[in-house]
Structure 1
Amino acid sequence: MLPVPDFLTIGHVSKDLRPDGTYTLGGTVTYAALTAQHLGLATGVITCADPNMCIELPSHLPGIALHIRPSSVTTTFINQYTEGVRIQYLCARADTFEARDVPEAWRNTPIVLLGPLAQELPTDFASLFPRRPDALIAASPQGWLRQWDADGRIWPTAWHDAPKVLSSLDVLILSYEDILSSNGNSREEADALFSEWSTMVPILVATEGRYGATLFHEGQTKQFPAYEAEEVDPTGAGDVFAAAFLIHLSKNGDPELAVEYANCVASFSVQQEGTKGIPSLSMINRAFRSQSRKE
C-alpha cells in the first residue's frame, strides 16, 4: 500500500519551452509539490506524461512520491511575458485524468490541491476526496478557465461548472489574471464574480502578482499587499502561493495569516527562473518574522 502523503497535488506537469528549444519543468503540480516539500511535508504528485518524462521526473522532483500515467505526449507550453502580461500557447496536451488514476489510499490525504492546466481534470474530480474536518480540499482552477484555438493560443473561457466544483471544495485559489481577460479587464466584474463564488466555497483567495492578494471569507473581503521583490520570472508564483497558503492554513487555521505567509513565500519564487526561486523553510521563517516585526 502506498503511504499517504501530507500534501497531494494533481494535474499535468508541463514543459515550458525556452526560445532555444530547451525547457523548464512547469505546471501547478511541480511548483506546489516542491513548495510543500521545502516546507517539510511528505508530498505526492499524480500526473500524466510521455514515457521519457516518466523516467526523468523523479530526478526533477527528488523525494516526492509520484504516481504517473504514461501518455503519448507531455503537456507543453510557450509562455511570453510583456509588462507582466502572459501570452501562452499550448503545443501539446497529455491525456485526461480518470478516477482510477488516484490511488485509494491517497484519497485520505490531509491537503489536496487540484491543479489543472488544460481541462485535464473532470469537474467531478474533487468529489473523489471525502470532506473531513481535518482535511483541506482545494483547487487552483486556471486549467478550467482556458480554451485554445487551432494555433494553440490560449484564451479565457467561462467556468460554467464552477458551482459543481466549488461545492466539493474547502478552498479556491486563483488569480485576477485568469478572470480579468474574460471580463473586459473590469476589476468590478471580477470582484463580483469572486464574491458570487465565495458564497459557494468556504474560502476564496484571488492573487494579483505584485499587488498582493484578496481574501474572500465569511462574507468579508480583505486585501493584503505583496512583499517587495525584484521580479525575474513570475511563472509558478501563484502555485507556490497556493501550496504555502494551504499548509499554513492547515497548521494554524487562520486564513488571514495564511495569506500573509503565502505572500512571503511567493515573493521569493519570482526572483529566479522556474523552480529555482522556491525558498527554503529557514529563508521563509526569517523573512516572515522580519515583516511581522515591522508591522
Structure 2
Amino acid sequence: MGYLVIGHITRDVTPAGDFVGGTVAYSGRAADALGCQTAVLTSCEPEYEGLKQLAPLAVEVVPAANTSTFENIYGEDGRTQMLYTVADKIRPEHLPLAWRQPAVVHLGPLTNEVAPAFMRHFPHSIIGLTPQGWLRRWTVDGRVYATEWPEAEQYLPLADVVILSEEDLLNDEMLPRYRRLSKLLIMTENLRGCTVFAEDETRQIPAPRVTQVEPTGAGDIFAAAFLVQFARNGRNPWQAAEFANFIAAQSVTKIGLDAKIDLIQSLQHEKNYSIT
C-alpha cells in the first residue's frame, strides 16, 4: 500500500539539543513501520542532516534556503512556541509523476506550507488531513499563535478523514462546525484516546493505560496508524481508532523517534492488532 505524506520536516530546538521533527517524520516513519511503501514530499535545506531520519522512505525535497525551525519555551504562563525559520511552500506541481495514485495521502502542514489544492489531485486515494499548520500563524519575531483557517469551508468536505487535536480547538463553535463540514472527524484527546464523529454517530474510544515517558509525535503516529488501518479494514472508523489509540499509546512509552518506530515494528505481530 502506498502512503504519501506532505509537509515540512523540521529542526526542533530543545535544551537537550536539536532534533528532527514534523508530521512527515513521525507519520512517515510510522506508516513505513506498519508495512506501507511510504513517500514524503517536503521542503528544507537540501543538506539538512535531519533528512537522514527519513532514509527508509522515498523522499522528494523542494530545495529551500531554510529549514523550518521550532522551539517550545515553557514558563509560568505555559508554553510559548517560536518559529525561527521557514522552508518553502509545497504545491501540486512539486509532486513527482510516479506518486499520483497512492492508497493514502496525508496532508500534514505545520507552517501553512501545504497547498490545500492537493486534495483535488488524488481522486482515487483516501485523503487524510491533520490541519494544525493551517490553524497557526506567527508574529514578526516568530511567536506562534492560533488562528482560524479561512479555507476550512472550501476544503474540509473534500477530505475523507480529518484528524484534529482537542488542543487545536479555538472556541466552542469550532468542533461542531468542523464536524458538520467533515465526512469523518477524529478528535484526539491525549491519554484519554479519541472521539470519532462518523455521520450521525459519535463514539469515544478510550486508549489503553500506559506510563507516559515522552509524548512527542504521538498525534502524528496516531494519524498514520488510523489512516493505514482505515484503508486496510474496509474504512471501518471504529476499529481504525482503536488500533491508532493502541499504537500511539505504546509510542509514548519510548524516547526518541527511532525507539518509537522500533517498538511499532515489533507490534506488527501483536495478536489482537494485526495490520494485515
TM normalised by structure 1 equals 0.85
Answer yes or no: is 1:141 the counterpart of 2:98. no
Aligned residues: 270
Answer yes or no: is 1:274 the counterpart of 2:267. no
SS of the equivalent of 2:242 reads: helix
Answer yes or no: is 1:124 the counterpart of 2:114. no
Equivalent residue, structure 2, for 1:48? 43
CA distances 1:90-149 after superposition (whole Å, capped 9, x unpaired): 11110111221111231211100000001101232222222x3xx311110000000112
SS of the equivalent of 1:116 reads: coil
Equivalent residue, structure 2, for 1:77? 70
Change (3 A) 1:165 1:271: same
Answer yes or no: is 1:61 the counterpart of 2:54. yes
Given candidates 69, 86, 98, the residue that maps to 2:91 is 98
Q: Any gaps of 5 or more consecutive residues in structure 2?
A: none
CA distances 1:204-257 after superposition (whole Å, capped 9, x unpaired): 101011121010101221111122122222121110000000111111121001
For the residues of structure 1 that align with 2:94 and 2:148, how far apart are their CA atoms? 27
Equivalent residue, structure 1, for 2:160? 170
Contact kept, 8 Å, 2:46 with 2:61, in 1: the verdict is no
Equivalent residue, structure 2, for 1:293? none
Pick which of 229-238 and 166-175 moved more: 229-238
For the residues of structure 2 that align with 1:86 and 1:169, how far apart are their CA atoms? 31
For the residues of structure 2 that align with 1:82 and 1:228, how far apart are their CA atoms? 29
Answer yes or no: is 1:156 the counterpart of 2:137. no
- Give the AA of the match of 1:11: G
Equivalent residue, structure 2, for 1:246? 227
For the residues of structure 1 that align with 2:74 and 2:31, how far apart are their CA atoms? 27
- Give the AA of the match of 1:282: S
- Give the AA of the match of 1:25: V
SS of the equivalent of 1:51 reads: coil
Q: Any gaps of 5 or more consecutive residues in structure 1?
A: 184-188, 291-295
Answer yes or no: is 1:234 the counterpart of 2:208. no
SS of the equivalent of 2:181 reads: coil
For the residues of structure 1 that align with 2:252 and 2:80, how far apart are their CA atoms? 18
Equivalent residue, structure 2, for 1:10? 6
Change (3 A) 1:61 1:197: same
Change (3 A) 1:277 1:96: same
- Give the AA of the match of 2:264: S
- Give the AA of the match of 1:102: L
1:254-265 alignment runs, 5 A limit: 254-265=236-247
TM normalised by structure 2 equals 0.91
For the residues of structure 2 that align with 1:236 and 1:19, how far apart are their CA atoms? 18
Given candidates 266, 283, 286, the residue that maps to 2:270 is 286
Give how far 1:165 is off: 1.5
Change (3 A) 1:287 1:78: farther
- Give the AA of the match of 1:255: P
Give how far 1:285 is off: 4.5
CA distances 1:26-51 after superposition (whole Å, capped 9, x unpaired): 10010011101110111000000113
Change (3 A) 1:213 1:86: farther
Contact kept, 8 Å, 1:58 with 1:64, in 2: the verdict is no
Contact kept, 8 Å, 2:34 with 2:268, in 1: the verdict is no
Q: CA RMSD in A?
A: 2.1
- Give the AA of the match of 1:52: E
Change (3 A) 1:285 1:219: farther
Give how far 1:194 is off: 2.6
The alignment-based identity, stated in percent, is 39
